[in-house]
Structure 1
Amino acid sequence: MITFDEALQNVLEHSQNYGDEMVELVDSHGRILAETIEADRDFPPFDRSTKDGIAIRFGALNSQNQSFTISGIAQAGSPQLVLTDENSCIEVMTGAMVPKNADTVVMYEHTTKNGETFTIDEFVKQGQNIHYQSSDVHKGEVLLQSGIKITAAEIGVLATVGKAKVSVKKLPKVAVISTGNELVNVDKTPLPFQIRKSNSYSLISLLENEKIKGDIHHVLDEPSAIKQTLKNLLKDYDVLLLSGGVSKGKYDFLPEAFDSLGVEKVFHRVLQRPGKPFWFGKQKQYETTVFSFPGNPVSTFVNYHLYFKPWLNKTLGTDTMQFDVFLDEPYRNSTDLTLFVGVKVKMMEGKLVANTISSTGSGDLLALAKADGFIKVLPKEEIARGKIVPFIPTRNRM
């Protein structure tokens, strides 16, 4: 067996670039940007009014002249008007182009209107209430760097520069495969010796968080059926995510099937809990990466976050965020394994504080549903209350 750190390093060394693709702007949310975005024009592209009011020439304002006759109205979205008489003003709306020859905007609230004349009642500073052209961004300036995750904020920037289609990192095609005669569909009533499939749906849901539309497959514990199913899937998919069939039981046929199909084992079994029997390999002919997780729900769920998600991040050219929390209780690991312990976290005095969740083991789905993530505890490590520990979040709100 190898250590967790060795296993993770081996997984990351097998990351793969699947190239780029163009998608519609509305479909780019949550994807990884694969191009550098530059401003296609100045921002703002013209001197724009930041208030509803009147545009004047500041030089015409003095102690003898505080009143200006209206000569027009500048509306947002209309061509620029021209202030031809410095003793007049042009009404201007928020977002409208400041009229040519005008250099100051006075908001309506600081004026008094009498017929077709505005009298200014407050102190005026030259250039006030104008958002000047290119004061935010110059044309050609880099707005977004390649490699970032596109969120709603980036969508706004992309729309502003006219990116109706966006280049993003291409996602792998993923098959989610469950194994075992004991599994039945969710809509079926299990017999006393059966259980409903859960791992496949958990994995499919996790993949959707990454904008990957995975396909579900199931195979019975029969060597020839397993071999034939895997043979087809290895050709058709970039990644296989399996659950079950990799322990040392008499019906754990996957390692033998992998070997017969040319899937090279990188490692099998890791000094960790949960997820010790994890199997990882690569079919080099088809360049298919195989993550074969233990069948217990918590093991599958934890290993997805420990291995597949960092692998996917590296594949897409992004970093895996590192998190720490303060443990609100002492914890002792008396084993030679790296433990991943489910915790609930809360904010206390500006710090993220974690408390462990009691669990009956790697099949405890209820504990899994309660956890915000898992803390990492090294072999033989003793953690005092209040100490900082590594944290792997498993909920999007984290």
Structure 2
Amino acid sequence: MAAAKGEGGTKMKGTRLFLAMGCAAALSVCAAAHAAEVAFPTWQWGESSNAAFLNKVKGDFEKNNAGDTIKPITVPYEGFFDKQYSEVRAGSPADIVTLFDPDMGSFVKQGLLEPLDKYLAMAGVSADQLSASHKVAIKDGHVYGVAFQTNPRALLVNGKLFKDAGAKLPTNVDEFLEAMKKIRNPAKQEFGFFSLSTSEAADATYIQTTPIVLGFGGSWFKAGKPTATDPNTIAALKFIKKIYDDGLVPRVNSIEAQQLFVNGKIGSFIVGPFLVGFAAEQNKEVYENIQATVPPFPGAQSAAVTVFLGIPKGAKNADAAGRFIATLLKPEMQQSVVEIIKALPAVKGSIPAGFLDKNPWFGAFVKAGDHAVSYAPEGMEEYGPEIYNIIGPAIEDILFNNKDVEQATNDLQGELEKFVAEKKAN
């Protein structure tokens, strides 16, 4: 979500002489010769607030880079990352790739991305000005990805549903369970909370459950070693299992759940601040009743999910793509990430003056962002996509196949240890 200035086009000296010789026609030919159409596929072109921001950057880029254009390609989220990875590995990538934290780590490790240092310099942004979320995008002093947006997890709350049900904002697990029970209204299909409740792609399963695992003080990995059998990890999975078995969460996927929250049907959601942007555009009543707080779990740890943009090796229009990323880094664009998307930007210190006064709920996310850890597996970030595919099915066995939590985590620990040993051996 960052800001920088991308300057395109050809600058000429001897302006008066050039004008006398018919510069308009010459400039037109020059611009056409260097025009680039930057292919940028992402599901985010189909999401209202994300699209509004991306189109703002697109407009600024095209205005200041004569002849160059951005080609928005709206694609479904399902299967996006597998397809993108296959195209990059095959040498036929789009010009801009969209990567979550673990994907970024994997792409950097495999050398699949172009360095962006030139475009940060163009934007007047140094690596030390980038948010802490960029750790996974930096290798040997070079920056390979810029955060489009960072979404630390906090408990987003529809205050009206809590108030109408006589439920208070929870400060511990027992109070949270009590609030869920009070808000649950089968006649109105209202729920107090959302967590994983249907079979999803492995990455979505991982993303939905990991903030709760971290919130309980658990983890999947510590310093590169599997920790699936950590008592806190087990406690988190038992909590997720309990609220699923007790019917306290809707049986929908995470994308559908976001819409239900916006529609006023879900009272709370451990999610990033971007969801407030959706509510602001679609449901004024929900937006005006938004609150946020630290998730009421004993570990008091928060997770962050960062969406990065990068330029893959083999991109046909790499330079124009870099100038688009530089445009993204402009100060006014960085502030727009906060104002439009309601997420944290790439460049530190970019929150607009007065924004927190008008949007006090955002303070919980800023606080979470100060101490949040990436949801990527610690010490094994570059193998994130492969690790999803091990952890995801284990979680689904617990929820949907009624597998005992201790047995499932013991089996999972063994699989993860085997995975790590194989990677170290290669």
Q: Under a length normalisation based on structure 1, what TM-score does the superposition of the two structures give?
A: 0.19
Higher helix share: 2
Higher strand share: 1
Structure of higher CA gyration radius: 1
